[in-house]
Every structure is written in C-alpha cells, then in structure tokens.
Structure 1
Amino acid sequence: MKLKPLSEQVIVITGGSSGIGLSTAKLAARKGARVVIAARSREALAASVDQIHQSGGEAAFVEADVGSRTDVENIAAKAISRFGGFDSWINDAGVMVWGKVGDVSEADMRRLFETNFWGTVHGSEIAVAHLREKGGALVNIGSVESDRAFPLQAIYSASKHAVKGFTDGLRMELEADGAPVSVTLVKPGSIGTPMPQHARDYTGFEPRFPPPVYAPEEVAATILRACERPVRDAFVGSSARLFSSLGQRAPRVTDWIAEKFLLPMEVGDRAATPTDNLHQGRSEAQVRGDHQGATIRPSLYSAAARNRGTTMAIAAAAVGLGALLLTRGRGREDEEAPLRRPGPIE
C-alpha cells in the first residue's frame, strides 16, 4: 500500500482544538498538508485554525460532537466541499473520568463511551466509506490502557480496550476485502496535554499522570508517520511499551506495581478543576497542559521507532564495528602470543 506524502494530503483530525489533536494539526500544516479539525468548542477551534493560518498553514474547522454520527458526517462533508476529499482521518477526540468504579455515575460512564468509543466507530466507518475508493490512512488513538488497565481509570481503560478491539477487527476486514486503507492504532503513555484539567474528577483532587510525561509533539509525529507509511500499532513512550509488555507477561506483578506505586501518583496535590469537558466542549486551543511539576520530555524510544531505517543502520554499524574490534583484538593476541612448539599428542 502506498500513501501520499503529507504535502499532498488533506487530513481530518477529531479532537483537534487542543492537546494531541492540535499538535498533530499544526505539524501536518507545517509539512504542507491541508487540515480539517473538529471539536465541540467553536471558540477553541477558531483560535486553533487562526494559529495554523498565522504559521502559513491551510486549515478549516467544524464544530461537532463525535458521539453524533450526523455531526461526524458533517466533518467529512466539510473536507469534501472545501478540499475535494481527504487522504487521512485521525480519530483523536477523547474525554476522561478519574475515580473509583463505585463512585462514577452511569451517566458519566455512558458519556465517556459516546466520545471515546462511539466517536471512533463513527469516524472510522465514515472515513473508510470515502477511503475505500481512493485509498488512504485511518489512525485511531488508543492508549497504553488499550492493553493495560490502571486504577482510577477503569472506565477510560475499558473504552480504550474497546477501541483496540474495534480497530483490530476493522483492519482484518479491510485487509480481507483488499481495500487500500491503512489502519493504525497509536498507544501513547502519559502525555503532557491539558487532559488533567479537562477530566471529570471524583477524587476531589486534580488528576496527575504518572511519570514519565512525554511531549504531545511525540504523538503528533508518530501519527503523521502512520499517515505516510502503513504501520499496525505504534507506542509513544518507552513506558507505554514497557507496561504493555509487562502486563502481558506478568499481569499480577503489574497489578501490584499499579496498586502500590502508580495509584498514589495519580492523585494530585491541588483541588480538582471545577469544570470539565465530559458533557460539553472545553478547550483553550493549547497543546500542553499543567502537570504539577512533572517535566514534559521527548521520547528517544518513539523517535527511534519512527526512523527504523536509521535505527537499523546505526545498529548494523555498531555490530559491524564491534565485530571488527573483536577480530583485531584476537589478531593482536595471536601476534603477541609466544611461539610454542607443538607438544606430544596426549
């Protein structure tokens, strides 16, 4: 499957008014793509598009709630009417609820699934209906919690597990049909977005993501890589890869680590934000949020994963250099060893 370079693409991004979505939109526009972003907050969308225009990019926005299929159809219609179609579709819209299962209301759980799961389903089906004809990329944003649940995030974890199951099933169906659509699931770890300030909280304290906290730009770069080169899954942050692998190989040990170490880290030191974005849009057109003193850092793991050719070349050169040094070392040992006459055969 061959995907277009970003400079020739039209890219649709849900949840594009802050965090990962906005970071992806800005990076895509800098690389020459035309961008359509969607979210529930019109003011934040307008501010986000203005930021892109000021940087020389081309973008449009659609006010939409991805929990509504009609709203998502309007996003696709906007991309078609404005730019003639789209080449990549990124389902990034997401909300979070922070609290123990017994404390969270059923209404809040259902609202989270409307956005995180059904929003992904709506976006995927509508995108695939368009991309089947011309080819392109579908990128769904999961989480390390697509593989591994954490305390205080049970319903969020459940939604991301559901996104993974749906994405994997859709991918197989498209491959069986021979459809020219690349389907990728991106699984970030803790990312330095405004999500802690947007989450619905039941603990009384603002959520805190366990470190390390990675830069949203790392996720954006990984997403856009998948828009140009097909990839099945992509982790962002070595911690995401670690917890996923550890959870599969030693689930009880991972449970113990989460209960003893991660759970205390998940409750911040300051009072929770009085408003959230669970039931209505709230965004400040900002890529990064406040993470209570945590350093937002790059990910060397993710950078290496995005540049596998370079990584493999460096690894091959290192192996070759090691072999050369070993060979020379052995040759030197042979030269310096004293000559010995062969003794009798014992």
Structure 2
Amino acid sequence: MSISLKPIAEQVMVITGASSGIGLATALHAARLGARVVLASRNEPELEKIAERIRREGGEALAVVTDVSRREDMQRLADRTAEAFGGFDTWVNNAGIGIYGRLEEVSDEDHHRLFEINFWGLVYGTQIAAAHLKPKGGAIINLGSVVSDIALPIQGMYAASKHAIKGFTDAFRMELMAEKAPISVTLIKPSAINTPFPQHARNYLDEEPTLPPPVYQPEDVASAIVHAAQHGGRDYYIGSGGKLMSSLNKRIPSLMDWGASRSGKLESSGPVRRPREGSLYGPATDGSARGDLSLQARRSLYTGAQTHPMTTAAVLATAGVAVFALFAAGKRR
C-alpha cells in the first residue's frame, strides 16, 4: 500500500516532550501552519501555558500530562487524542534527557532511567502510533541525533540510547514495509541545538556543561519534522556539522575515536550553577524552546536544502546565472 500524507493544515500531530526545546518549537510551528497539536510532557503548568498560547493565536491544542517511560501513559495519550480529535496523523517521539558524566561514575539507576525515557518511551510511542495508523496511514517521526551515528565521551549512555533508537527505528520501518503498512517512519538526527538540553541533563561534572559549536536553532528541527510529516523521508540531518561528523566517522573511525578521546571532556561554561539532578526524575521548571546560546546559534542552510530542494536548486541556479553574467561582463570590458 502506498503512503499518502496529508498537508500539515489538515493534520492532528502528537508531540512528546512538548513543554520545551525541540518539542515546543515544533508544536508552535505546526500550529501556526494549521495543524491541531497534542502536547505531551510531565510538566502540566507549562503544557497548559503553551496550549493557551496556541489557542490565543487561533490554533487548536490539547495538553496531556504524560510520562513517556510508562506505556499506560502513552496509551492514554493516544486515547485522549482520539477522544478529542478522532485520531491523529503524525506522532512525534521527541521526549529525551541527557546525562553528563563518565560511564564508570554514573549510577546504574540513572543509566536505567535515561533508557526508560529516551529509548523505551520512543518504543512505546512508535508501537502505539503504528497500531492507530495502520488502517489509514500517517507518519511516525523519531528523534535520534548525530550521536545515533557516532559516540561521545562524557555522554556515553545518551549516545548509546540514540544508537538504540536508530536500530529500532530502522528495523520497525522494514517490518512496516514488509507488511505494506501505509506509514512513513522518519529518523531526525540533530547536531547541537540551542535548547535547554544541558540545563535539563543530570550533571556529574564539576563544570557547567554547554553545547559544542556549531550550534543550530530548534526551529530548524521543527521545520524538518513538519516537512517529514507531509512528505515522509527516511533520515534528516540537522546541520551540516553533524552530517560531516557522521561521514567522517564512517570513513576514518579510528581517527575520530582518537580525536574524541583526546578531547576528554565536553564544552563548559564555567563552574556548576544549576541543580545537578536536572529533569531525569521530574519535570523541568522552565518551558522555553531556546537555550542560552542564541547569540552563537545559527540557522542551518543544509537542513533547508534537504527540506526545500527545489527552492535551493532555484537559488543556486539564479546565483550561477548571476556569476556567469558578471564573468561575461568582465570579459567584454
């Protein structure tokens, strides 16, 4: 069966981890384009604020308090969506958390909790969404990372969870293809994104972690997610830096390992000034899409080229004509 996806203005989109970062940016972007959005996270006050903001701007939104690590919560999220909107067309598994610390120093409890949120929450969401979408079709969009392809010291279990997400997503896609289910399954691989991720992460370090450059804005990820909801696609990288790192890791893995081991630690913004626990066991206290690196962050031309290839080709063609005209004019002088 072929996959046919609706225009975003005709869709109901479920988004986990919607109270901050990429999830929040995606919810706002999709709602402004006409989608009805269902916001899921553990942070009830922020969810309600965001839902009300969307309604004030003329959109439709439903807030459902959800702990993605609990299958029953994820099933309730799907059921509440069906009650409110008759179903959904796109399900975005975005919720995730990080831990900064050496693998030997992080507790087993914290490692297990990270996997419950990052991996098992995504597994539950994917399975529940697929059961709903098989009769009519739609899109499942999973948030991986550039570290789905490479590993990093000091974020080892986070990288492991994103590797697991890639393996699960690819295998699930194949199984749906084998049974000719009309569902698009996409993996999004962001590079460093200017969200509150470092502040929400559990921190074992003696320094305040920050993101390494180049850093991109969450709106780039939101654009890629909305594009995948309408057009499908297997993988999307956010930021040319991440794509480059992934490509180099495939070609010169030993050298990449050596470079990462020599770095020994991640970027730091000075002494620890925030609670070390982060939001591993409870909701974050803030609800912002962007982090504190807005001055350093950029928009990704590479991502724009992936999601708008015809526009990019037209721009490049126009630029080529202009360059040729300048060259020809120079030769006539």
| 2: CA distance, partners of 1:321 / 1:48 | 45
The answer as to whether partners of 1:47 and 1:285 remain within 8 angstroms in 2 is: no
| 2: CA distance, partners of 1:290 / 1:204 | 20
In the other structure, the counterpart of 2:308 is: 307
The residue type equivalent to 1:196 in the other structure is P
* SS of 2:34 mapped into structure 1: coil
| 1: CA distance, partners of 2:145 / 2:238 | 9
Residue-by-residue CA offset, 1:102-153 (whole Å, 9 max, x unaligned) = 1100000000000000000000000000110110000000000000111101
Among 165, 171, 175, the residue aligned to 2:173: 171
| 1: CA distance, partners of 2:285 / 2:4 | 35
| 2: CA distance, partners of 1:94 / 1:76 | 19
1:206 shift after superposition: 1.9
Residue-by-residue CA offset, 1:189-235 (whole Å, 9 max, x unaligned) = 00000111111000022211101111000000001100000100000
The answer as to whether partners of 2:140 and 2:183 remain within 8 angstroms in 1 is: yes
| 2: CA distance, partners of 1:272 / 1:105 | 22
* SS of 2:14 mapped into structure 1: strand
| 2: CA distance, partners of 1:42 / 1:325 | 58
In the other structure, the counterpart of 1:268 is: 269
The residue type equivalent to 2:11 in the other structure is Q
In the other structure, the counterpart of 2:7 is: 5
Q: TM-score, normalised by structure 1?
A: 0.90
* SS of 1:192 mapped into structure 2: coil
Q: 1:265 to 1:117 in 2, by over 3 A?
A: closer
Matches within 5 A, 1:26-41: 26-41=28-43
How many pairs were matched up? 328
The residue type equivalent to 1:229 in the other structure is H
| 1: CA distance, partners of 2:271 / 2:222 | 29
Does 2:178 match 1:212? Answer: no
The answer as to whether partners of 1:203 and 1:267 remain within 8 angstroms in 2 is: no
1:312 shift after superposition: 3.0
* SS of 2:55 mapped into structure 1: helix
In the other structure, the counterpart of 1:341 is: none
| 1: CA distance, partners of 2:15 / 2:205 | 31
| 2: CA distance, partners of 1:294 / 1:102 | 35
Structure 1 unaligned regions, length at least 5: 334-346
1:259 shift after superposition: 3.1
Q: 1:322 to 1:44 in 2, by over 3 A?
A: closer
1:264 shift after superposition: 4.5
Matches within 5 A, 1:1-346: 1-261=3-263, 263-274=264-275, 275-291=277-293, 295-315=296-316
The answer as to whether partners of 2:154 and 2:266 remain within 8 angstroms in 1 is: no
The answer as to whether partners of 2:119 and 2:162 remain within 8 angstroms in 1 is: yes
Bigger mean CA deviation after superposition, 238-247 or 315-324: 315-324
The answer as to whether partners of 1:132 and 1:179 remain within 8 angstroms in 2 is: yes
| 2: CA distance, partners of 1:283 / 1:150 | 27
Q: TM-score, normalised by structure 2?
A: 0.93
* SS of 1:133 mapped into structure 2: coil
The answer as to whether partners of 1:20 and 1:220 remain within 8 angstroms in 2 is: yes
| 1: CA distance, partners of 2:126 / 2:164 | 14
The residue type equivalent to 2:312 in the other structure is T
| 1: CA distance, partners of 2:305 / 2:240 | 11
| 1: CA distance, partners of 2:27 / 2:315 | 31
| 1: CA distance, partners of 2:35 / 2:322 | 41
Bigger mean CA deviation after superposition, 236-245 or 306-315: 306-315
| 2: CA distance, partners of 1:283 / 1:116 | 19
| 2: CA distance, partners of 1:312 / 1:2 | 25
The answer as to whether partners of 1:10 and 1:35 remain within 8 angstroms in 2 is: yes
Residue-by-residue CA offset, 1:283-312 (whole Å, 9 max, x unaligned) = 422111124x86121111111111112223
Bigger mean CA deviation after superposition, 45-54 or 57-66: 45-54
1:51 shift after superposition: 2.0
1:54 shift after superposition: 2.2
Bigger mean CA deviation after superposition, 11-20 or 298-307: 298-307
RMSD across aligned C-alpha pairs, in angstroms? 2.0
* SS of 1:102 mapped into structure 2: coil
* Percent identity between the two aligned chains: 48
* SS of 1:103 mapped into structure 2: coil
The residue type equivalent to 1:136 in the other structure is G
| 1: CA distance, partners of 2:320 / 2:177 | 37
